[in-house]
Chains A and B, each alone.
Chain A
Amino acid sequence: MTISALGYDLASQRLSSPSGVDLQIGPFVFHLQLDCPDLALLVYELWRDYPLAEGAAVRDFHIQATNNSVPRRWFRPVVRIFVDGRTPFPPLPAHHHLPMLEWGLNWCIAQRSHHLLMLHAAVVERNGRAIILPAWPGHGKSTLCAALIHSDWRLLCDEFGLVRPEDGALLPLPRLIPLKNESIEVIRSFAPSAHIGPSFYGTRKGTIAHVRPPTESVERMHETARPGWFVFPRWVAGSPLRLEPMLKSEAFLMVATNAFNYEVLGQTSFELVGRMVDACDCYSLVYSDLDQAIRALDELTRTADD
């Protein structure tokens, strides 16, 4: 049963009740309790495909979001997030509730999932093989990822490339994709079918709007994928498309230094990344036009399938 199957009234009632709701998002179970009606509405709309984890006794993270602080109800209202009853961030203006919730989830995952290797990367899949797009701030990974998942690629994740140490499989974590500033309009015109939530103005990352993960990606979130390609994307205004092979040694360093917890896993991550880079073709991609970039990646991955 998904959130949307509850219907809005029941969903918002359960989200705001003291006992909250348990949701399965990728490999994790989140216990969520919202004292924030506007946020409950957005969660209903944008998280609608996540299944309720009924009967999950052990939850991974307990998150509460509230804009209910009495002294701040009328004067500059704020939204706060609590993880296990403690707040990891200072409060934000009340109307930034969804970015706050999403950052809260990121924080929980990044802090507490050291049983997995967490690459800082977007991951999309087709025919069981994944393109891993490592992230560098401002290089347009999220935009490219949003475009790919509206071009017949399945979303594994936009932020965390989760690698299971036991077998090197990539675990899906289909979450909202936060688009920043100009990217919002770019994706709106590239993929009119994309479901994009409201824009949040003036956050610390500028204007943010979230792309809802396609329903199919959420329904298939237990299907892992094997790494197929590393592609290091960079958006450069007006640049012609350049998709060039990269030295594996260079790719290794870039993946390792950019992971969330490469050091924490020590030798395990050294071996995991080494095996991944060995198994993958590694490319750098410079682009300005999304259509061209998607075509080039289609081409690249199709030749590999032959």
Chain B
Amino acid sequence: MTESARQRERANALLLVALRTPESLPGLPPTDWDLLLRVARRTRLLGRLEAQLAVLGALDAVPERAANHLRSARNLVQHRHTLLTWELNRVLWALEGLDVPIVALKGVAYVLADLPAASGRFFADLDLLVPHADIEAVESRLLERGWIKLPISPYDDRYYRVWMHEIPPLRHRERENEIDIHHRILPRTSRFDFDPAPLFERTRPVAGSRARVLGAHDMVLHALVHLLLEGDPQEGLRLRDLVDVADLLRHFGHEPGFWDGLVPRAEQLGLGRPLYYGLRFARRLLALEVPDSVLLAASRWAPPWLVGVLMDRLLPLAILPGHPDHPTRRAALARWLLYARAHWVRMPPWLLVRHLVYKGWLRVRGVPKRVVLGPEELKRM
């Protein structure tokens, strides 16, 4: 084993042990804390680490310098929670009188429903789901009441409206939160796209808000969709999405009938393969316990043998952060391949080619991919 590979293994093992058995953290040597902080930050799981330790009452047993970073992450996470629940409050105010079901998705939904998945979870924007028929009314009401469209190119606008599952992001003119309004869970062009109507039938109310959240099964399946079908070129897949999946399954697993209904619901929505992968990797990496009957039922969605072998190799390589000082080409390749796979599933080949050619052309023309951070952005982040 090369030095790089050894360091990668060490970093990944530290993070997984921290996620699986936080009670072991107080005994961690300070040099391991140094590395754990770095990999947890990279995967945006620092806030979660803090939340786990807080539950155990073990924050005092952490080296002081490490505890500072955990506190810093907690403050940032709490601030995002406050900002985005307030943004939701304002959106609901703006939509008063409009007879439309409004479903909160992902982070904000976990906060609203007071789920363990919310604790320490960092989230960047507000995601909502409304029926497609009501999108226009919702959008124009928000535009009337202070939200604006972010300036995007006509190509991107068209990309959203024709192919995607959400409209271009909106932002209130006095606040900096992005809101993404979805009318389905997956892009229309996706191979897994399905009619979102059944989702609305099973939404649940939450205490103290007009917004609703997805039913338990659908919430899990949506987290899986996010994990497996929305790639990121640098990260490949996001470990925090897998953590969401495991958290939700652990929590809802105690509800009577949850496990029995999971596989049929995945079948109904055509999300069997993502469920298979989600269960497989949440067990392998995060030690999630899944009833045998569920595993057996989900096993019929296993991919062809060769694809399965490949995914078993690629996914851990891509989803685990590795050592920040020892990046490996293999991990970078795995991340790129999974990103390419997500795109491959996301749109049919002819559309993918068209999209990539256009994006490539933008790059050739020198449209900046990134902007220089000014002090304003610094303050924001």
A: residues with CB less than 8 A from B are 29, 56-60, 62, 84-86, 88-90, 106-107, 110-115, 120, 137, 204, 260-261, 263-266
Residues of the B chain whose Cβ atoms lie less than 8 Å from the Cβ of A62: 38, 324-325
- Report A145 CB to chain B, min CB distance, Å: 17
Quick check: A89 and B372 within 8 Å, CB to CB?
yes
In the bound complex, how far is the Cα of B82 from the Cα of A63, in angstroms? Answer: 32
- A265-B69 contact, Cβ under 8 Å, with A84-B41, A90-B370, A110-B378: no
CA distance A265 to B379 in the complex (A): 13
**Contacts A/B (CB < 8 Å), 17 sampled:** A58-B30, A58-B63, A58-B65, A62-B324, A85-B324, A89-B373, A90-B372, A110-B378, A111-B378, A114-B71, A114-B76, A115-B69, A115-B75, A137-B375, A263-B79, A264-B79, A266-B78
Residues 47 to 97 of chain B near chain A (Cβ within 8 Å): 63, 65-66, 68-69, 71-73, 75-76, 78-79, 82-83
A263-B79 Cα distance, complex, nearest whole Å = 7
A57-B63, A60-B69, A111-B378 given; 4 more Cβ-contact pairs under 8 Å: A29-B65, A56-B65, A137-B375, A263-B79
Contact in complex: B379, A261 (CB < 8 Å)? yes
**Chain B residues within 8 Å of A, Cβ to Cβ:** 29-31, 33-34, 37-38, 41-42, 63, 65-66, 68-69, 71-73, 75-76, 78-79, 82-83, 324-325, 327, 370, 372-373, 375, 378-379, 381
A153 to B33, CA, bound (A): 38
Task: Report A-chain residues with C-beta under 8 Å of the C-beta of B29.
Answer: 57
What is the CB-to-nearest-CB distance from B187 to chain A, in angstroms, rounded to a whole number?
Answer: 28
Q: Find out whether the CB atom of B31 lies under 8 angstroms from the CB atom of A57.
A: yes
Which of B33, B37, B71, B83 lies in contact with A115, CB distance below 8 A?
B71
Give the chain A neighbours of B82 by CB distance below 8 A. Answer: 266
Q: Quick check: A60 and B65 within 8 Å, CB to CB?
A: yes
CB pair B66–A106 under 8 Å, yes or no, is no
| Contact between B372 and A260, CB atoms less than 8 A apart | no
Distance to closest chain A CB from B232 (angstroms) = 13
- A269 nearest CB neighbor, chain B only: B75
Contact B79 A58 (CB under 8 A): no
Do B79 and A266 have beta carbons less than 8 Å apart? yes
CB neighbours of B71 from chain A (8 A): 114-115
Residues of B within 8 A of A84 (CB): 38, 41-42, 324
Contact of A265 among B75, B372, B373 (CB under 8 A): B75
Q: In the bound complex, do residue B379 and residue A115 qualify as a contact, i.e. CB atoms below 8 Å apart?
A: no
B381, closest chain A residue (CB): A111
What is the chain B residue whose CB lies nearest that of A56? Answer: B65
Known contacts A111-B381, A260-B378, A263-B79; A85/B72 CB under 8 A: no
Residue of A whose beta carbon sits closest to that of B78: A266
- Using Cβ atoms and an 8 Å threshold, which residues of chain A touch B375? 120, 137
Chain A minimum-CB-distance residue to B62? A58
Q: How far is the CB of B242 from chain A (nearest CB, A)?
A: 21
Cβ contact of A58, chosen from B34, B42, B379, cutoff 8 A: B34
Measured CA separation A260–B82 after assembly (Å): 18
Q: Which residue of B lies closest to A60 (CB)?
A: B65
Residues in chain B near residue A111, CB distance under 8 A: 378, 381
**Nearest-Cβ distance from residue A261 to partner chain B, whole angstroms:** 7
Q: How far is the CB of B150 from chain A (nearest CB, A)?
A: 21
Expressed in whole angstroms, the Cα–Cα distance for A261 and B381 within the complex equals: 9
Q: B378 contacts which of A56, A107, A114 (Cβ < 8 Å)?
A: A107
Q: How many Å lie between the Cα of A86 and that of B79 in the bound state?
A: 25
**Which 9 pairs show the lowest CB-CB distances between chains A and B?**
A57-B30, A85-B324, A114-B72, A115-B71, A58-B65, A114-B75, A84-B324, A115-B72, A264-B79
Chain A residues with CB below 8 A from B66, complex form = 58
Contact present for A112 and B69 (CB under 8 Å): yes
Q: Which among B31, B41, B68, B379 is the interface contact of A260 at CB below 8 angstroms?
A: B379
Note all chain B residues with C-beta closer than 8 A to A107: 373, 378
User: What residues of A have a CB within 8 angstroms of the CB of B78 in the complex?
Assistant: 266
Most chain A C-beta atoms within 10 Å of own C-beta, residue among B38, B41, B373, B378: B378
Docked Cα-Cα span, A266 to B69, in Å, equals 18
Asked, given contacts A107-B373, A110-B379, whether A58 binds B72 with beta carbons under 8 Å apart, the answer is no
Among the listed B34, B73, B325, which residue makes an inter-chain contact with A57, where contact means beta carbons less than 8 Å apart? B34
Q: Collect the chain B residues with CB atoms within 8 Å of residue A29's CB.
A: 65
Q: CA A89 – CA B374 in complex, angstroms?
A: 10
Residues of B within 8 A of A88 (CB): 373
B373 touches A112 (CB 8 A): no
Cα of A89 to Cα of B370 in the assembled complex, Å: 9
A59, A111, A112: most-surrounded residue (chain B CB, <10 A): A112
Residues from chain A with a CB closer than 8 A to the CB of B79 are 263-266
Q: Are B327 and A85 in contact, with the CB atoms below 8 A?
A: yes
A115 to B70, CA, bound (A): 8
**A266: which B residues are within 8 A, CB to CB?**
78-79, 82
Least Cβ–Cβ distance between B285 and chain A, in angstroms: 22
Complex Cα distance A84/B325, Å?
7
List the A side residues contacting B33 at CB < 8 Å: 57-58
Residues of B within 8 A of A114 (CB): 71-73, 75-76
B75/A264 in contact, CB under 8 A: yes
State how many angstroms separate the Cβ of B73 from the closest Cβ of chain A: 8
CA distance A57 to B36 in the complex (A): 12
State A178–B82 Cα separation when bound (angstroms).
36
The minimal Cβ–Cβ distance linking A64 to chain B, given in whole angstroms, is: 8
**Whole-angstrom distance between the Cβ of A112 and the nearest chain B Cβ:** 6
Nearest opposing residue in chain B for A85, CB measure = B324
Compute how far the CA of A90 lies from the CA of B76 in the bound complex, rounded to whole angstroms: 25
Q: Which residues of B contact A260 (CB under 8 A)?
A: 378-379
B72 touches A112 (CB 8 A): yes
Residues of B within 8 A of A115 (CB): 68-69, 71-72, 75
CB distance from B258 to the nearest CB of A (A): 36
Which residues on A sit within 8 Å (CB–CB) of B83?
A: 263
